[in-house]
């Protein structure tokens, strides 16, 4: 899945990006021009949006946050759901307070807390709307802590 | 070296070295939330903040049922866990919307992301490959869009452009407040080695400064070899001038251990932990003489 296909699953408007190797960044013309005058090993240019690994696009949490502003594919969770999700767990029906967009199995959803702040994203593993609803955790902001420990 | 050796050294410099627990502090990421909103959000979770009087967006954590690093608001990038004294250098450099900023020793990115809030753009250098991920993670978490990171040693940096503002938060030997084993680990030789590195960084980086530019040099060391003596060397060898700054701290020491330094060194600021209630810190602002 490419960057465009991934972003297109959540919103019709893709953020502009700059590609450096396998990595994608949100960077304005000023940063791009500046980068050409540095002449040194640039490892990050603006905001990191994600990376292609083995032909698959892996989004960053910053990208999910950007997409969540305009997306119609969101699931809102309660406080317990927020904590569980940030601990890298999946979501059950008891965590879900509202759904925007599709409820069908296999769809990817942005996971939002009650303040409409993005917590990450997941994939519907059991159709939403029933008491058996489930969403698998694909990436959550608790990853910021887990990365530091690696 | 023995703690007593340092006690003696610090007494000679007009200081002392009592131990105390450093209060935890944070800096609000105003790119994502206002201080008022954050205070209210955290209050609801039993976290009480108290304004740090000498920095703009800093708060002491006075009460918290859990680590502030584990809170959802931290993961959202609403704040950065940032020691109080360490928030001062970026405020002294004070970049504006038209300023191109160079941050020479950037990881983990506290000062980098602080400066980026007001700057046109920040170029962040980090020489240690294993420290780069923490820097990039913090930029991502805080959602800052105007930073370029280079995995480059500041001593080798030779860009085609000049910078309006430069921060050299130099690698240093640290201080006893943030490391309980610090006295046992340190030797006078370490300070001299660090001093040589700090001078090498400055010697190259002044070439990147625009004619009217400003450079802030800071360390979290209390040792004059890494602080006032480096600034004295920059004045005498690099054609720089230390300008007056107004921030927390005592004046720079101009006669450490009987050595006479340039009088301009007095314009620097030295934060003794026993007075400032922060970690040990040193800050100087340099311009071309």
Contact present, B196 and A69 (Cβ < 8 Å): no
Tell me how many residue pairs between chain A and chain B have CB atoms under 8 A apart. 94
Once rounded to an integer, what is the mean pLDDT over residues A122-147? Answer: 95
Cα maximum dimension of chain B: 55
Q: Look at residues A24, A145, A34 and name the one whose alpha carbon lies nearest to residue B101.
A: A34
What are the pLDDT digits (tens) for A76-126? 999 999 999 999 999 999 999 999 999 999 999 999 999 999 999 999 999
Which of B133, B139, B148 lies closest to A147 in CB terms?
Answer: B133
Does the structure show a pLDDT above 80 at A26? yes
| Same domain (yes/no): A52, A119 | no
Residue A65 lies in a domain: no
pLDDT of residue A40: 74
| Same domain (yes/no): B183, B159 | yes
CA gap B25, B47 in Å, rounded: 12
Give phi and psi for B253, each to the nearest 5: -85, 125
CB contact under 8 A, A62 and B159: no
Residue A81 belongs to domain spanning: 72-149
Instruction: Kindly state the tokens that stand for B32.
Output: 């994502």
Spell out the alpha helix ranges (H) of chain A: 3-8, 29-38, 61-70, 79-86, 143-149
Residue that is last in its domain, among A60, A81, A101: A60
Segment holding B22, helix H or strand E:
none
Residue B76 belongs to domain spanning: 23-82
Residue A134 sits in a domain of what CATH number?
A: 2.30.130.10
pLDDT of residue B2: 67
Does the structure show a pLDDT above 90 at A13? no
Burial class (CB in 10 A: 0-12, 13-18, 19+), A120: buried
| Same domain (yes/no): B136, B69 | no
Query: Hey, is B236 helix, strand or coil?
Result: helix
Counting every residue written for chain B, the total comes to 289
Contact present, B273 and B175 (Cβ < 8 Å): yes
Counting every residue written for chain A, the total comes to 150
Give the count of domains, chain A.
2
| Same domain (yes/no): B143, B258 | yes
Once rounded to an integer, what is the mean pLDDT over residues A118-139? Answer: 95
Give catalytic status of residue B220 as yes or no: yes
CA gap B100, B104 in Å, rounded: 13
| Same domain (yes/no): B117, B222 | yes
ipTM of the complex, rounded to two decimals:
0.95
CA distances (Å), origin A150, targets A44, A143, A144, A147, B102: 20, 10, 10, 5, 29
| Same domain (yes/no): B138, B236 | yes
| Same domain (yes/no): B50, B90 | no
- A50 contacts in B (CB within 8 Å)? none
Name which of B101, B119, B138, B140 to mutate to probe chain A: the one with the most chain A Cβ atoms within 10 A of its Cβ: B140
Q: Look at residues B251, B263, B220 and name the one whose alpha carbon lies nearest to residue B13.
A: B251
Residue that is last in its domain, among B41, B64, B82: B82
CA distances (Å), origin B81, targets B15, B28, B29: 28, 9, 10
How near does any CA of chain A get to the CA of B87, in Å?
22
Residue B101's DSSP bridge partners are B122, B165
| Same domain (yes/no): B114, B232 | yes
Name which of B137, B151, B162 to mutate to probe chain A: the one with the most chain A Cβ atoms within 10 A of its Cβ: B137
Average confidence (pLDDT) per 10 residues, chain B, 289 residues: 78 89 95 98 96 98 92 97 98 98 98 98 97 97 98 96 98 90 89 97 98 98 97 98 97 96 98 95 98
Residue B265 lies in a domain: yes
Instruction: Kindly state the tokens that stand for A90.
Output: 């999946």
Does the structure show a pLDDT above 70 at A146? yes
CA distances (Å), origin B259, targets B182, B253, B263: 26, 10, 12
Residues of A with CB under 8 A from a CB of B: 26-28, 30-31, 34-35, 37-48, 60-62, 65, 82-83, 86, 113, 117, 119, 141-142, 144-145, 147-148
Residue A134 lies in a domain: yes
CA gap A74, A24 in Å, rounded: 23
What are the pLDDT digits (tens) for A43-64? 999 999 999 999 899 999 999 9
Give phi and psi for B79, each to the nearest 5: -155, 165
Which pTM does this prediction carry? 0.95
Residue A106 lies in a domain: yes
pLDDT of residue B3: 64
Q: Among B104, B105, B220, B268, which one carries the catalytic annotation? A: B220
């Amino acid at each position: 899945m490419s960057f465009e296909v991934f972003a297109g699953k959540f919103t019709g408007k893709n953020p502009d990006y700059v590609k450096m190797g396998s990595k994608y960044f949100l960077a304005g013309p000023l940063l791009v021009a500046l980068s050409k005058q540095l002449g040194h090993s640039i490892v990050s240019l603006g905001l990191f949006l994600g990376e292609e690994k083995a032909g698959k696009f892996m989004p960053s949490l910053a990208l999910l946050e950007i997409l969540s502003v305009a997306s119609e594919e969101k699931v809102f969770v309660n406080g317990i759901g927020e904590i569980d999700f940030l601990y890298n767990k999946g979501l059950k029906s008891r965590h879900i307070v509202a759904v925007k967009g599709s409820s069908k199995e296999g769809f990817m959803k942005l996971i939002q807390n009650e303040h409409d702040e993005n917590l990450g994203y997941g994939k519907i593993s059991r159709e939403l709307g029933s008491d058996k609803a489930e969403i698998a955790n694909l990436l959550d902001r608790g990853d910021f802590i887990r990365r530091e420990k690696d | 070296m023995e703690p007593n050796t340092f006690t003696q050294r610090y007494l000679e410099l007009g200081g002392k070295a009592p131990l105390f627990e450093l209060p935890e502090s944070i800096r609000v990421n105003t790119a994502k939330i206002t201080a008022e909103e954050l205070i209210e959000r955290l209050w609801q979770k039993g976290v009480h903040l108290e304004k740090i009087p000498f920095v703009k967006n800093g708060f002491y954590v006075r009460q918290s049922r859990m680590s502030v690093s584990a809170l959802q608001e931290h993961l959202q990038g609403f704040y950065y866990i940032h020691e109080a004294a360490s928030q001062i250098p970026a405020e002294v450099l004070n970049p504006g919307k038209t300023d191109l900023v160079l941050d020479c020793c950037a990881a983990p990115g506290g000062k980098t992301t602080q400066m980026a809030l007001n700057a046109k753009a920040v170029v962040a250098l980090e020489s240690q490959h294993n420290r780069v991920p923490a820097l990039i993670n913090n930029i991502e978490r805080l959602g800052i869009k105007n930073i370029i990171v280079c995995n480059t040693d500041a001593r080798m940096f030779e860009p085609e452009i000049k910078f309006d503002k430069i921060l050299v938060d130099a690698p240093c030997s640290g201080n006893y407040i943030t490391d309980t084993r610090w006295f046992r680990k340190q030797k006078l030789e370490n300070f001299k080695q660090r001093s040589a590195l700090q001078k090498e960084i400055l010697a190259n980086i002044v070439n990147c400064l625009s004619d009217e530019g400003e450079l802030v040099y800071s360390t979290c060391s209390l040792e004059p070899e890494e602080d006032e003596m480096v600034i004295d060397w920059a004045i005498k060898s690099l054609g720089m001038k230390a300008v007056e700054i107004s921030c927390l701290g005592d004046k720079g020491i101009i006669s450490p251990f009987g050595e006479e330094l340039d009088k301009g060194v007095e314009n620097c600021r030295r934060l003794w932990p026993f007075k400032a209630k922060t970690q040990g810190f040193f800050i100087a602002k340099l311009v071309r003489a």
